[in-house]
Amino acid sequence: MSRGAEAAERRSAVPFWRDERVLKLLGQILFITLVILVAAWMLSNYRKRGLTFSFGFLDEEASFDLAEGLPFSPTDSYARAFLIGVVNTLRVAGLGIVFATLLGLIAGIARLSGNWLVNRIASVYIEIIRNTPLLVQLFFLYFAVILNLPGLQEAIMLSGPIYLSNRGFAFPALRPTSSFGSWWPFLVAALIGALVLLILRRRTVPSTGRPAFNLLWVGVPLIAFPAIGWQFMRGQPLILDPPELVTMSGGVMRIEGGTIFSPEFMALLLGLVIYTGAFIAEVVRAGIQAVDKGQTEAARAQGFTQGQILRLIVLPQALRVIIPPLISQYLNLTKNSSLALGIGFLDLYAVSSTMLNQSGRVVEVFLMIMASYLSMSLTISMIMNIVNRRIQIVER
């Protein structure tokens, strides 16, 4: 008798109340049943109080205004107001993740620098930021820094031009023109070409042990196709729209053109970047120190420069240690954006609080808030886990 048949016979001889597989299935069924019963009890209790559970209020008129994000008027619905809150949170979280990663990478490397001054500056930044509450930092950036900038009449102008004032920060922006509709197929072709080259590059690794060509070649179609399409366009598909200070009637000044970020947005973004960047710096430092020193010594013996050792030897190996805790920092940044309520930024939580006060739908609104943050967190985790798996596959 084969081993498989013997194992099957032994399993069939075990009573079902002692079968591990049956017990696991029964446990899952019991847990789901308890969840359903608790949810039904909560809904029944909610209705006994004369309340109705419905999301129909989302189609009603909001009757309040929103000064941040997509266009909105008081006659728009609660659903659009909630959408604007979600978009505002995604804007600040997306930019925050990018800039916090860059800042954390620089600070983490500086923390290990052999230069005493660079090392001390990075250490002081990390220790101060990590040991003070984020809300306090947001208040300081908003009330003590940004609101104390000069007004529009004396706005700080940087090259670009970029205007910094207590009314917000204005940056140049790219605006699509009427010919953009004929140019975007070249952008799609560029992405497809880069993806094809990336696949071809990776397919040669199992057979040869190394990629067929340098990774920089993948960027060629990303530049070539849009450039070719640009030459065939009658007009420019994109134009640079710089901000300009304009004096209105009565001597009132305003900024026209470009992209303007409100003081509240900039305070929240800077606070999240500076705060999360300090934690990411420690993650980067730990990842770099986890790489065997023999790797660095061997590379130095081969004549690699310090920059080449860090870029080609240390960081690629440190990523397998860095990425898992990095996911937690990205999730913390996204959830910490809810502190925007303290400085008046209209993020998801702030808009939802206004909706709650206007409509009285406490349970429905809070369910929407939790579902939104849960969706954002799961999306970030999924993307980073995919990246982590790809790194582990390449390493093997």
Residue 129 lies in a domain: yes
Q: Distance (Å, rounded) from C-alpha 309 to C-alpha 355? A: 54
- Do 284 and 373 share a structural domain? yes
What angle do helix axes 362-395 and 78-111 make, rounded to 10 degrees?
40
- Full domain range(s) for residue 222: 180-232
Average pLDDT over residues 231-250: 82
Residues 389 and 327 in one domain: yes
Task: Say if residue 277 is in the same domain as residue 320.
Answer: yes
pLDDT in tens, 175-229: 888 888 888 888 899 899 888 888 887 777 666 666 666 777 788 888 888 888 8
Name the pLDDT band for 295 (thresholds 50, 70, 90).
confident
Say how many residues make up the chain.
Answer: 396
How confident is the model at residue 374, as a pLDDT?
A: 93
140 lies in the same domain as 275:
yes
Is there a single domain that holds both residue 144 and residue 278? yes
Q: Does residue 256 belong to any structural domain of this protein? A: no
* The domain boundary residue, chosen from 232, 252, 274: 232
Residue 306 within any structural domain of the chain: yes
Q: Is residue 290 part of a domain?
A: yes
The reply to whether 248 falls in a domain is no
What pTM was estimated for this model as a whole? 0.82
- Count of the separate structural domains present in the chain: 2
From 232, 255, 273, the end of a domain falls on 232
Distances (CA, A) of 214 to 10, 197, 303, 311: 56, 10, 21, 15
Query: What CA–CA distance (Å, rounded) separates 330 from 21?
Result: 37
Same domain? For 385 and 279 the reply is yes
**CATH number of 339's domain:** 1.10.3720.10
Read off the pLDDT of each residue in 276-294 and give the average, rounded to a whole number: 91
Q: What percent of the chain shows pLDDT beyond 70?
A: 91
* Mean of all residue pLDDT scores within the chain: 86
Average pLDDT over residues 53-73: 86
Taking the CB of residue 277, how many other CB atoms lie within 10 A of it?
26
Q: What is the pLDDT of residue 3?
A: 59
Is residue 282 located within the same domain as residue 383? yes
Output the pLDDT for position 2: 55
User: Is residue 53 a part of any domain in this protein?
Assistant: no
Q: Are residues 267 and 364 in the same domain?
A: yes
Same structural domain, 281 and 146 = yes
Please indicate, yes or no, whether residues 131 and 199 belong to a single structural domain of this protein: no
Residue 174 lies in a domain: no
Is the same domain home to 204 and 342? no
Pairing, β 244-247 against β 162-165: unpaired
The pLDDT score that the predictor gives to residue 111 is 92
Q: What is the 3-state secondary structure (H, E, C) of the chain?
A: CCHHHHHHHHHHHCCHHHCHHHHHHHHHHHHHHHHHHHHHHHHHHHHHCCCCCCCHHHHCECCCCCCCCCCCCCCCEHHHHHHHHHHHHHHHHHHHHHHHHHHHHHHHHHHCCCCHHHHHHHHHHHHHHHCCCHHHHHHHHHHHHHHHCCCHHHCEEECCCEEEECCEEEECEEEECCCHHHHHHHHHHHHHHHHHHHHHHHHCHHHHCCCCCCHHHHHHHHHHHHHHHHHHCCCCCEEEECCEEEECHHHCEEEECCEEECHHHHHHHHHHHHHHHHHHHHHHHHHHHCCCHHHHHHHHHCCCCHHHHHHHHHHHHHHHHHHHHHHHHHHHHHHHHHHHHHCCCCCHHHHHHHHHHHHCCHHHHHHHHHHHHHHHHHHHHHHHHHHHHHHHHHHC
Task: Report the pLDDT averaged over residues 160-173.
Answer: 89
Residue 222 belongs to a domain: yes
pLDDT at 291: 85
Based on the fold, state whether residues 378 and 283 are members of the same structural domain. yes
- Tokens standing for residue 41: 């009890």
